[in-house]
Amino acid sequence: MSQAEAPPDRPLRVLVVLAHPDDPEFFCGGTVARWASEGREIYYCLLTRGDKGADDPGVDPAELAETREREQRAAAKVLGVREVSFLNYEDGNLTADLPTRKDVVRVIRTVRPDIVVTCDPTNVYGQFVNHVDHRMAGQVTLDAVYPAARSALYFPELYDKEGLEPHKVHELYIAGPVHPNLVIDVTDFLDLKITALFEHRSQIDDFESLKERLRKRMLDPESPAESPRFVERFAHIEIR
């Protein structure tokens, strides 16, 4: 599944960079749980705190952000994630600009992951319209991974002023892809993914309905009815 090799002094390290609290659980929660069970170190970086994740005009954005941050930390704990960080951009206003790219490069050079997981910036719509923040998060993360994080000539002030050396990511896993080329079996971790999602109580009204939707969406159609297989799909890219 993964071609990356960890240094001899530590396990494989994975950095998940997505837009909102609950995105990691929806996009790749089963894979995160599987990797954590295999001993990989998992780190989350959320670009926003989800301060627009409600339709009610009476909701206070700052209070909602605090709630969603707590929910995200609780969900990450369920899956075995080592650390969660937030870049605190405003929900709904993400752009793939240079300042945001620099912030993501800073996280990559700090965490120094072997693998980065993000989402597909080309996935605009399918069965639903993809949130613009998802697309921007995917684009800025890809641009940060290659070539910016690995080259000392990009954002040299991160080294000169913060001591952050360039870092080469070995693999990208792009979740929610238009053109997947990798399927990961998460059958044994589906219940854990659902349990983690249930921590996001501010976002989910009907847990039973969500559970059924997930099972239908993640079902491998080629698996036998008596022994269903559940999967998460990615576009997998090895970086030389």
DSSP lists the bridge partners of residue 209 as none
Tally Cβ neighbours within 10 Å of residue 191: 13
* pLDDT, mean of residues 187-207: 95
> Is 5's pLDDT higher than 80?
no
CATH of residue 172's domain is 3.40.50.10320
> Is 186's pLDDT higher than 90?
yes
pLDDT at residue 4, rounded to an integer: 72
Sheet holding 41-48, edge to edge: 83-89, 41-48, 13-18, 115-119, 171-175, 231-238, 182-185
Q: What is the 3-state secondary structure (H, E, C) of the chain?
A: CCCCCCCCCCCCEEEEEECCCCHHHHHHHHHHHHHHHCCCEEEEEEEECCCCCCCCCCCCHHHHHHHHHHHHHHHHHHHCCCEEEEEEECCCCCCCCHHHHHHHHHHHHHHCCCEEEEECCCCCECCCECCHHHHHHHHHHHHHHCCHHHCCCCCCHHHHCCCCCCCCCCEEEEECCCCCCEEEECHHHHHHHHHHHCCCCCCCCCHHHHHHHHHHHHECCCCCCCCCCEEEEEEEEECC
pLDDT at residue 2, rounded to an integer: 53
**Residue 85 within any structural domain of the chain:** yes
**Residue 154 within any structural domain of the chain:** yes
Q: Of the candidates 43, 45, 29, 50, which has an alpha carbon nearest to the alpha carbon of residue 131?
A: 50
**Residue 68 within any structural domain of the chain:** yes
**Residue 80 within any structural domain of the chain:** yes
* pLDDT, mean of residues 150-179: 97
pLDDT at residue 7, rounded to an integer: 73
**Residue 7 within any structural domain of the chain:** no
Q: Of all residues in the chain, what percent carry a pLDDT higher than 90?
A: 91
> Is 1's pLDDT higher than 60?
no
User: If 0-12 CB within 10 Å is exposed, 13-18 middle and 19+ buried, where does residue 3 land?
Assistant: exposed
**Residue 196 within any structural domain of the chain:** yes
Helix axis angle, 98-111 relative to 132-145, nearest 10°? 60
88-140 tens-digit pLDDT: 999 999 999 999 999 999 999 999 999 999 999 999 998 889 999 999 999 99
Tally Cβ neighbours within 10 Å of residue 130: 18
42-101 tens-digit pLDDT: 999 999 999 999 998 989 999 999 999 999 999 999 999 999 999 999 999 999 999 999
**Residue 8 within any structural domain of the chain:** no
- Residue-number span of the structural domain to which 218 is assigned: 13-238
> Is 10's pLDDT higher than 90?
no
Q: What is the 3-state secondary structure (H, E, C) of 133-186?
A: HHHHHHHHHHHHHCCHHHCCCCCCHHHHCCCCCCCCCCEEEEECCCCCCEEEEC
Look over the chain and give the mean of its residue pLDDT values, rounded to a whole number.
Answer: 95
**Residue 4 within any structural domain of the chain:** no
* pLDDT, mean of residues 185-203: 97
How many domains does the chain fold into? 1
Tally Cβ neighbours within 10 Å of residue 211: 16
pLDDT at residue 51, rounded to an integer: 96
